A and B are shown apart, each in its own frame.
Chain A
Amino acid sequence: MARKAPLLEEISLKGLEIAPSQVWGNIRLVPLLRQNVRPDLRLFKRDYHSDLTIVSVDKRTRYFSCIPHGLILHWSEDGQPVVATGGQLLTEGNVKDIASVKMQWLQRMVKRETKQSLRLLPLHLAMEGFLSLFFGGPSVAWKNYSKQALSNGLSPRVEWSISGRSIVQLNHALRLFEIHDRQVGVLLFVSEVLASAFVVPTPTDYRALHTSILEDFYGETFLYHGLYGGTSTLNVEIDAEQVHTLDDLKVALKQVRSDWANFQGFMASNLLNVPLQSKRIYRAGPFSLQRFMTTLELKQQNYIGEAILDDHNQLQYLKIYGLSAAQTKRAYLLKQIAAHNWNLERTAQSENDTLAQFIYRLEKVGFGYLVNNQLREQAAKERRPT
Chain B
Amino acid sequence: MALASCASFPQVAACYVGIATLVTVDWAKRLEQVAQEDLVMFINACLTCTGQREFYDDAYGQKVSLDFLHDYILGNYRLLYCRTLAAGINHFNQTQIILKLLATGTQTQTQHRAEENQLITATLHNLPSQRAWKLLQQIREHGINNRRARAIAKQYVTTRGERLAFHAVKYRSKLRAIATHNHLNLKQINSELGPELGDFLYRHWPKHFNTPLFEEFRRGFYSASNIYNLPFTVAEGLAVKHNIPRERFLQNIEGQMTAGEKLRLQKSAGKVKAKLDLNPQKLSLTKLALYVLSLDLDIRKQRQHELEQLLQTSAHKTLRKVPFRLGRVAAVLDRSYSSSGSSEKRRRPLGIALAVHYLLQAASQNYQPFWTIAVPEPLIVTPYGQTNLVDPILAAIAWQPDLIVIVSDGWENDPPGGFAELLRVYRTKLDPKRQISIVHCNPVFNANDFTLKQLSSLVPTVGLRDAEELPVVLEFARFAEGTASLTELETYLASRVQHLLASTNLQE
Contact = CB atoms under 8 A, between A and B. Distances in A.
Given A238-B425, A243-B425, A244-B429, A256 B386 contact: no
Enumerate the 8 nearest inter-chain pairs by beta-carbon distance, A residue then B residue, closest first.
A20-B415, A178-B337, A178-B386, A240-B425, A22-B413, A180-B386, A238-B425, A181-B385
A165 interface: no
A237 interface: yes
B415 A256 contact: yes
Nearest to B414: A20
B430 A256 contact: no
18 contacts: A20-B413, A22-B386, A22-B416, A23-B416, A178-B338, A178-B386, A179-B337, A181-B373, A238-B424, A240-B425, A240-B428, A245-B430, A246-B397, A249-B430, A253-B390, A253-B391, A253-B418, A260-B415
Interface of A: 19-23, 31, 176, 178-181, 234-238, 240, 243-246, 249-250, 252-253, 256-257, 260
B415 A246 contact: no
B56 A176 contact: yes
Contacts of B28: none
A19 B414 contact: yes
A246 B413 contact: no
Interface residues of B, number: 29
Interface of B: 55-56, 336-338, 373, 384-387, 390-391, 394, 397-398, 413-418, 421-422, 424-426, 428-430
A65 B429 CA distance: 61
B416 A234 contact: yes
Given A20-B415, A178-B385, A179-B337, A246 B398 contact: yes
Contacts of B386: 19, 22, 31, 178-181
A213 to B, nearest CB: 16
A21 B397 CA distance: 26
Given A22-B413, A180-B385, A180-B386, A256 B429 contact: no
Contacts of B424: 238, 240
Contacts of A253: 390-391, 394, 418, 422
Nearest to B384: A181
Contacts of B56: 176
Given A22-B386, A250-B394, 18 more contacts: A20-B414, A20-B418, A31-B386, A176-B56, A178-B338, A178-B386, A181-B385, A234-B416, A235-B417, A238-B425, A240-B424, A240-B429, A243-B425, A243-B429, A245-B430, A246-B430, A253-B390, A253-B391
B336 A178 contact: yes
A243 B430 contact: yes
Contacts of B387: 178
Given A180-B386, A243-B425, A243-B429, A257 B415 contact: yes
A216 to B, nearest CB: 22
B421 A249 contact: no
Contacts of B336: 178
Nearest to A237: B421
Contacts of B397: 246
Contacts of B428: 240
A256 B384 CA distance: 23
